[in-house]
Structure formats: structure tokens, C-alpha cells
Amino acid sequence: MTDTLLAETHGPILVLTLNKPHKLNALDAGMLAAMAERLRAADADEAIAAIVLRGEGRAFSTGFDMTGGGAAGDASARLRANLESFLAVWRARKPVVAAVDGYALGAGCILANLCDFIFASERSVFGEPEIRYWNPASITILPWIVGVRRARQLLFYGKNLDARTARDWGMVTEVLPEAGFFEAVLAAVRPLTHLHPDSAAALKRSINDGQEIAGFLDALHAGLERIAPLYQPGAPSREAYRAEVEKRGFKEYIRHRDSLLRN
């Protein structure tokens, strides 16, 4: 079985690679839990100064793997567990950098935006398209990143952003050429490895503390509890989705929904 999360070091930089390219690195609970475990281990490893998250192939991640129609059981508990895994990025003492080369959609966009920096290639695309196909994203991080008005535009319409627009909206740190992208990311991260680890940790914590005082974590948890019932078995939107996927197949369902939303 292929390991869906790869880890390698480039000197003091730990690189974690989402490794499900045949599904555009669609996330599952196991991948997220493995990522969280690796991040916690990196915090305890004095040889690691910074972490890079990337995706194998032509996507960072296109979100959760929904080809099975969603898992059964308590959706609220499942979503809470996934959020805790996501927040391992936020809670890491060391800088975490998203290297986005290609699509960062849905949960992939959420994961990237929890990182301290996002470096994106020129071909990259960001967005939260979930509502176009089924239900809204369970973690509403975008108002904290791009502001409420722009977040509404992205979330209600399922609008995507190219890399340069995402940079202009304050989502992306820097846009880099597609050629030699990963090497350019490593070069951009390298100065972070020369910071004293206590200084880097204190600076990250001071910035994140300000967000938390403003209600960041409370808002994420409250938003999740508001949206989670839509993912429960028997919820009308979930059942409508499952019926359509069963009738049309997943890919045809996506094409059909997109055709409606273009009109």
C-alpha cells in the first residue's frame, strides 16, 4: 500500500508531501492524523527548524475524498477530529509553509491557509467550491484571511482564485515561477532556519495569540457545529447529493452541477 504522507529532510527543513496524486491528493482522516503526528514530532526534534507541506503531482490538495459519498456515523465528531488534525499546523512551534503547485481547493485550501506562509506557483488555483456540489465548507477560515466580503464571494459562489489574485487578496505570500518551484520554495524557507528556535516560536505564538484573543479558534469550532448537521446521515442536502451521485456517477454529477451554475 502506498504511503499517503511522505517525509524527507532537506537539512533543517522537514518536507511533508501529500501523496495521493491519482486523486489529486484528496484528504482523508488518516492522512490528516499522520500529518498532525509528524508536526508534533518535528516540534520535538531540535534538528528541524521549519516544515514545508506540499502535494505530489498537479495539486496541493483538492479537498476531502468524497467519492464514496461521505462516511457514515456521527459527522460532528468526525469533523471535530479532522479540525484537531488541521490545527496541528496552527499549534506547531516552528514555521509551517505551504508550497502550493496546482490546485488548493476545499480542505486543501483550508490546510494551506492554516500555514504561516503560502508560496504558490503561477499555475496554482485556490478556492472553496464545496457549496457548488453539496454543502458549505465545514471550517470557515476564509473570513479571517481575506475579509468578510471577499470570503462571502468565495464561499457562496464557490469562486476560484488564480495565484496572483490570491496574493493580491492577502492569501498568498509570494507567487513563484512554475519552473524550479520547489527549489525556489526551499530557498525562500531557508532564512527561517537561521532564526533562534525560541524567537521563532515566540513570534508565531504572539501572532496566533492575537488571532485567538479575537476569537479565531472559537469561531472555527462554532462554525463547524453550525454546519456539521448538514453532513449527518439523513440530512436533506446530503441525501440529495447521494441520490444524484448514485444516479449519475460522481464525475457526471460534478459536470451536471457546474452546467447549472454557469447559467
Instruction: Extract the C-alpha cell encoding 165.
Output: 489574485
Instruction: Extract the C-alpha cell encoding 2.
Output: 502506498
pLDDT on residue 65: 86
How deeply is 44 buried, as exposed, middle or buried, from its count of CB atoms within 10 A (0-12, 13-18, 19+)? Answer: exposed
| Residue ranges of the chain with per-residue pLDDT less than 70 | 1-2, 66-73, 263
The rounded distance, in Å, linking the Cα atoms of 240 and 87 is 31
pLDDT on residue 72: 53
pLDDT on residue 73: 62
pTM exceeding 0.85: yes
* Residues of the chain above pLDDT 70, percent: 95
pLDDT on residue 133: 82
pLDDT on residue 1: 42
Question: What fold is seen in the domain 5-228?
Answer: 2-enoyl-CoA Hydratase; Chain A, domain 1 (3.90.226)
pLDDT on residue 260: 80
Amino acid at 179: A
CB of 161 closer than 8 Å to CB of 125: yes
What is the per-residue burial (b if ≥16 Cβ within 10 Å, else e) of 202-238? eebeeeeeeeeeeebeebbeebbeebbeebeeeeeeb
